[in-house]
């Protein structure tokens, strides 16, 4: 189901930009707060991070049109084709400032948008201990993940109004129609639109019950055994397995996001207010970036070690990751997968790997990151590129379709926005998107958070399980701590009745 555009051809007007005082227009959180609970208000947030990819904040509201799809309702639809059609209806930008967002689509493609890209049917359940038995022949135990979160699989707004904040150059810009920004009273029009009266009395966010995981530790270990049976059977080389945490909550998810942002400082963070809920992303990972000239970059993450409070131990963890042959092998599998994905739409012989096995450090973990680049023949091919590469290989495994089928059979619930992509696509084809990891979904007064990792034959089940907690150690415990002052007793997080947190997620 989707909301179609109201216009049939591009509006003859153009978009332009005006620079405004950075000292007054640099605090993205303060700007966004007055309309944070407005449907289709969205923030792409560099989170004041010192990371090399942290530069711009982009704020949008009041889209020209919206596009939402649910695969269960429209399995035969062509959402990527309609995305291109809607982009063609957004006014063109002819301002003088080189901005990352110049009018176009902004929002998310959930993981299950991949069902419009590939045919995904659940693989038969693997026999967990008998690696000699091919899981493909155990057809009596086929299982399909449950879709229990009401958010759409695709939610995109198409925007002509935006604030772009460049924290490197310390400059701020307003994007809008020429008819508004080239008038004598443009500053007043900007103030009227972007500085609405903010009602006071935002309700405090807190959890009303403890986090619960959809897998116990024993469940997770069993599924790793099942994955290894698939690996031994030759069905795949690597599978990304995730567990999901869920807790009921009350109060402002925007307040929760601000606390999470402060603790994580991730360069591809985002807060999206869509009609059925909210998305709170603290992602460290870029999926696809494409320039207005068609230059493409993707930066898959595969390989993780926890940060340590002790600097010496922290350096040891980093060195261990850098020297890990297992993590390098996992990373290389995904690099090869993405080289193939990019080659489907990029010019022949243009795909290359300028950086292999770099270390990037974040608040909670160190990551092993590689960079792959390519060149499109036509910048407008970026939508086709997204479709060809979606979902990102770093969160599926390889080969991708086989991995997604196995994920469908092993994970109890579908992933919703998690492991999809959040970002923007301009009307000229340029785009920047994240991989929606470290990402939470708020829907029907429940908050969902996921964590996973790549499983290969020499994976240690206990270490892989622990890694999932390392990845959310600045998310799950932090939101639990926000309960203080609202409950007489602290919440005890559990995974199927077992402790969740403690030394694992502190």
3-state secondary structure of 468: helix
Task: Measure Cα distances from 344 to 57, 215, 248, 322, 483 in Å.
Answer: 31, 37, 43, 31, 49
Helix residue ranges, H only, 234-368: 253-264, 311-322, 325-343
* CA pseudo-torsion sign 328, 333, 336, 342: negative
> Alpha-carbon distance 415 to 76, whole Å?
21
- Residue 285 is among the residues annotated as catalytic for this protein: yes
Please confirm whether the linkage preceding 391 is cis (ω < 30° from 0): yes
Question: Distance between alpha carbon 315 and the CA centroid of its chain, in Å?
Answer: 28
The single residue listed with the structure tokens 């309309």 is 35
The catalytic residue among 217, 228, 285, 299 is 285
DSSP state of 347: P
3-state secondary structure of 433: strand
The single residue listed with the structure tokens 């340590």 is 308
The tokens for 2 are 């989707």
> Alpha-carbon distance 16 to 24, whole Å?
20
The catalytic residue among 302, 400, 471, 473 is 302
- Residue 330 is among the residues annotated as catalytic for this protein: no
Question: What positions carry a catalytic annotation?
Answer: 285, 302
């Amino acid at each position: 189901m989707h909301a179609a555009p109201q216009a049939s051809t591009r509006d003859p007007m153009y978009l332009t930009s005006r620079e405004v005082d950075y000292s007054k227009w640099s605090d993205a959180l303060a700007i966004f707060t007055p309309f944070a609970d407005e449907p289709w208000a969205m923030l792409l947030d560099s989170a004041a991070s010192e990371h090399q990819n942290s530069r711009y904040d982009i704020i949008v509201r009041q889209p020209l049109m919206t596009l939402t799809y649910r695969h269960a309702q429209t399995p035969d639809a062509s959402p990527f084709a309609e995305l291109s059609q809607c982009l063609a209806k957004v006014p063109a930008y002819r301002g003088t400032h080189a901005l990352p967002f110049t009018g176009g689509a902004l929002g998310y493609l959930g993981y299950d948008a991949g069902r419009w890209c590939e045919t995904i049917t659940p693989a038969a359940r693997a026999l967990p201990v008998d690696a000699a038995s091919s899981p493909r022949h155990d057809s009596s135990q086929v299982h399909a993940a449950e879709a229990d979160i009401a958010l759409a699989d695709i939610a995109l707004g198409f925007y002509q109004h935006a604030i772009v904040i460049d924290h490197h150059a310390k400059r701020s810009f307003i994007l809008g129609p020429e008819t508004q920004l080239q008038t004598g009273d443009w500053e007043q029009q900007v103030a009227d639109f972007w500085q609405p009266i903010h009602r006071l009395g935002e309700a405090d966010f807190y959890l009303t019950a403890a986090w619960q995981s959809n897998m116990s530790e024993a469940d997770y270990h069993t599924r790793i055994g099942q994955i290894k049976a698939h690996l031994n059977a030759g069905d795949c080389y690597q599978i990304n397995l995730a567990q999901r945490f869920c807790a009921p909550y009350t109060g402002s998810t925007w307040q929760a996001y601000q606390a999470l942002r402060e603790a994580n400082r991730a360069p591809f963070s985002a807060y999206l207010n869509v009609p059925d809920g909210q998305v709170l992303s603290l992602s460290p990972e870029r999926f696809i970036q494409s320039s207005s000239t068609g230059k493409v970059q993707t930066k898959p993450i595969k390989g993780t070690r926890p940060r340590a409070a002790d600097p010496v131990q922290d350096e040891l963890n980093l060195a261990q990751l850098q020297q890990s042959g297992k993590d390098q092998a996992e990373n290389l599998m995904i690099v090869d997968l993405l080289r193939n994905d990019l080659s489907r739409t990029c010019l022949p012989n243009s795909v290359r790997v300028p950086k292999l096995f770099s270390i990037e450090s974040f608040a909670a973990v160190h990551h092993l990151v590689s960079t792959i680049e390519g060149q499109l023949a036509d910048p407008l091919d970026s939508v086709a590129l997204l479709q060809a590469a979606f979902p990102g290989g770093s969160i599926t495994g390889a080969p991708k379709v086989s991995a997604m089928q196995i994920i469908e059979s092993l994970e109890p619930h579908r992933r919703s926005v998690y492991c999809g992509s959040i970002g923007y696509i301009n009307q000229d084809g340029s785009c920047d998107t994240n991989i929606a990891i470290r990402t939470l979904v708020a829907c029907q007064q429940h908050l969902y958070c996921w964590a996973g990792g790549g499983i290969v034959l020499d994976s240690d089940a206990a270490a892989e399980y622990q890694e999932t907690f390392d990845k959310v150690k600045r998310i799950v415990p932090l939101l639990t701590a926000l309960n203080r002052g609202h409950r007489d007793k602290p919440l005890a997080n559990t995974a199927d009745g077992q402790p969740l947190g403690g030394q694992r997620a502190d």
